[in-house]
Amino acid sequence: MARRLAEFVTRRRRAVLIVAVLLALLGGATSTSLFGKLSAGGFDDPGAESGRAADLLEDTFGQSPPNLALLVTAPDGVDGAATAEAGTRLTESLAAEDGVRDVVSYWSSGQPQLRSDDGERALVLATIPGDETAVNERVGELADVYGGDVDGLTVEVGGHAAFSHELAEQSESDVVTGELIVFPVTLIALVLVFGGIVAALLPLAVAAATSLLGMGLLWALAEVTSLSVFAANVVTLAGLGLAIDYSLLMVNRYREELAGGRTVPEAIRATLGSAGRTIVFASLTVCIALATLILVPLPAIRSIGYAGVLTALLAATASLVVLPALFAVLGTRVGTPRLRRRSSGPSSDGFWHRLAVVVMRRPLPIATVVTAILLLLGAPFLGMKLGYLDERVMPSSSEARQVATVIRSDFATGEQDALQVVAPSGLAEPDAYAERISRLDHVARVDTVSGSYADGAAVAPPGPPHARFAAGDAVYLSVVPEPGTVEQTRELVGAVRAVDAPAETLVGGVAAVAEDADRSLLDMLPWALGAVGLAMVVLLFLLTGSVLLPILALVLSTLSLTATFGAMVWIFQDGHLSGLFGFTVTGTTISTVPVMLFALAFGLAMDYQVFMLSRIREEYDRGASPTAAVALGLEKVGRIVTAAAVLISIVFLAFLVSDITLMKAFGVGLPLAVLIDATLIRGALLPATMRLLGGATWWAPGWLRRVHARFGLRESSDAPQREPVPARR
C-alpha cells in the first residue's frame, strides 16, 4: 500500500496539490458561516432527570426557567414615578418582542425580591424559548436593542442566554487571535528546528490544509448534529499541532533517506513505508482516545470528540498524501547540506544516545526518583472538586458576568437559580410536600398551585400567579434558593431529591443540570477508560509484538497525566498563579475539563509512544540488543519527538490568549502534559523501565507471536524482521 501510494503521489504530484488547494479553499470559504451554527451550550445530559424535567415543564406547562435578565439601574432609585413609568414601558416593550415570553419585572409584579437592597436597581426577567442556536441568535438581537441607555434607564443584559452568547462570541474571537499568533511563532520555531525555510514551510502548509478542510467539514457536520463552539478551537489548534507532529516525522525521515543515498522517488517510498506507517498508528491512537468523548452523553463534549477524530484523520491524510507530493515537487531542496551531514552522521555520540546510556546504567534509582516526582506533582489531584461551567469562566469585563455578580450580591432572590420539581401525574397534597421542602436549609421560598411557602409555613395563599403551576393532573413546584454561592445551590439539589414525595417527581433547574452532568460523566468514565485501554493495548501490540510494552506504555502515560491533573488542580482550583494567568478562582474544577484534557493529552502521549517504540522496534529488528535498540532508537527520533513536543506546546499555549478560563486550562494543561511526557517519560522513565525489563521487553507467548507475524506492522519496510522473544526466554 505504501509503495502504491508513493508511486501515485510521485506521478500525480501536481494534480494532488491542486486538489488539496481547492479543497482547502472550499473548506475555508464554507467555514466563514460556521460560527452561526455552533452552540455555546450542550454541557447538560438531555436524558438525565433534569433534562426530562425541562422537557415536561415545556411540553406540559409551556414554562421554561428565565434565561434573560435585564439589570436596570435608575439614578434616583427604582421607586420614583418617572422610573416606574419607564420601567413599565421597558417591560411591556420586551413582552411584545417576538420570541420572548413570561416577562416579569419589579414594576409589573411588585415582587420585592426583584428590587436591589439599596433600591437603585431592579430586574426584568424573561424567557427566550427554542434550541440553543435560536436562543443565541435572538439574545444577540435583543442585547443590541435593550442594552445601554433606554428611556433614561441604564440597562445591562444578563442571564444564561446572554452568557452563552458572549461565550460563543469570545470563542470565535479566540480562534482568530490564536491563529494570528501561532502561525508566525511556529514558523520561527520550525526554521530553528530544520535550519531552512523550505523545510519549515512544509509542516505549516500541511497544517493550513488540515485546519481549513477541517473547518469546512465541521460546517457540513453542523448541518446534521449540534456542535459546540469549542469544536472549532479543537479543529484549528489541535489540527495545527497534529499536522506539525506528523510532518516533522515525515520530513525528518525523508531527509534521512536522501542522506542515505536514495533518489527522490525511492526516498518518498521508503518514508511512506516507515514513518508513514508510524503516522497511521499514531493517528489511530489519537482517534481512539478522542473517540471516548463521543461516549459522553453531553452534546458539547460529544461534538468535541467528533471534531477531534476528524482532525486526527485529516492531519494524517494530509501528511501521507500532500506532503509526499510536495517532496516530489521540491526534491532535494527540502534540506540543507549542514542538515544532511547531521542526518548521515554517527548516531552513537548524540545527546539522546548519551542520555539513554546514562539512564540505563542506573535504571532503578532514576525510575524511582522520576516516579516519585510525578506522584508528588499529582498529589493535589486527590483533592479535586468538580464544578459546573458558569459565568465565572468569563473575564470580569463580561456584561453577563457583571449582571450575575450584582444579582447574587445585591438582590434577595434566587429566581434565576430556582429548582423545578415536576410531578407529571400530580400530587395528592402539594401543600404538605411544599412545606417539607421549604424547611430545607438555604430554601427561600417554594411556589406551587396551592400557594407559596417558607420555613414550613404558608406565606401566600393560592392566587392567579399560582395557576401556572398546574396543567391537567400535572403539578410543579418552584424552589427558590436563598442568595448564595453556586456550590450552595448545587447542594440543595440532593436535599430536594431526598425529600419524600407523595408521587413520582423530577427535579430540574440549572443546579440540577450541573449535578446530573457530573453524574453522567462519572458513570461513563470506567467504560470509556476500559475501552480506550483495551484498544491501545491491541494497537501497541500490533506495532511492537510485545505483551509488556503496551502495558508499560499505558502505565507511563497514566503517570504523566496524573502529574498534569495535579498541577491543574493546584493552579485552577486552588488558585495558585491566578494572577499570572488572569482567571477567577472558584474553588472547583469544571467537570468537563479533566475529561476533555484526558482525551487530548492521553492521545498525544500515546502518539509519542508510537513514535518512540516504532523506531526502537526498528533498531531491534535490525539486530541491536534490547539495550542498544533503546539508545539508538531514542537518538534517531528523540530530537524530533522533543521538537514536536515543543512545537505543539507553542500551539496549545495559544489557548492562553483566550479570556475564557476553560480555554486557559487547556492552554496550561496540554503543554504541561506534552512536555512532561517528552522529557521525564521519554527521556528517563521509558529507557529506565525498558532496561529493567531487559529481553523480557519483547516477550510474547507463541500464539500471539503468530498473530503479530500475520497482522502486525513495523516501522521499516526493508529492515530484517526479528521474531518477538519466545515465552521460554
Instruction: Tell me which architecture the domain covering 65-165 has in CATH.
Output: 2-Layer Sandwich (3.30)
Question: What pLDDT, on a 0 to 100 scale, did the predictor assign at position 345?
Answer: 43
Sheet order of strands, 153-158 included: 101-105, 121-127, 68-73, 153-158, 148-150
Question: What pLDDT, on a 0 to 100 scale, did the predictor assign at position 719?
Answer: 47
pLDDT tens-place string over residues 570-603: 999 999 988 888 888 888 888 888 888 888 888 8
Q: Tell me the C-alpha distance between 30 and 18, whole Å.
A: 18
pLDDT, average across residues 106-131: 89
**What is 346-388+527-729's CATH number?**
1.20.1640.10
Strand 443-448 and strand 451-454: the pairing is antiparallel
Q: Tell me the C-alpha distance between 607 and 244, whole Å.
A: 13
Lowest mean pLDDT among 358-362, 523-527, 607-611, 672-676: 607-611
Q: Measure the CA angle with vertex 144, ends 138 and 147; round to 5°.
A: 115
65-165 with 346-388+527-729: one CATH topology?
no
What residue spans define the domains of the chain?
65-165, 346-388+527-729
Q: Tell me the C-alpha distance between 329 and 9, whole Å.
A: 10
Q: Tell me the C-alpha distance between 121 and 73, whole Å.
A: 4
pLDDT tens-place string over residues 350-381: 788 888 889 999 999 999 999 999 999 999 99
Question: What pLDDT, on a 0 to 100 scale, did the predictor assign at position 337?
Answer: 44
Question: What pLDDT, on a 0 to 100 scale, did the predictor assign at position 163?
Answer: 92
Q: pTM of this prediction?
A: 0.80
Give residue 342's pLDDT band: very low, low, confident or very high (50, 70, 90): very low
pLDDT tens-place string over residues 260-289: 888 999 999 999 988 888 898 889 888 988
Backbone angles phi, psi at 497, to 5 degrees: -65, -25
DSSP characters for 449-467? TTEEEETTEEEE---GGGG
Q: Tell me the C-alpha distance between 266 and 6, whole Å.
A: 9
Contacts of 107 (CB under 8 A, 6+ apart): 78, 84, 87, 88, 91, 122
Q: Tell me the C-alpha distance between 661 and 401, whole Å.
A: 13
pLDDT tens-place string over residues 36-87: 788 777 888 888 999 999 999 989 988 888 889 999 999 888 998 899 999 9
pLDDT score of 35 more than 60: yes
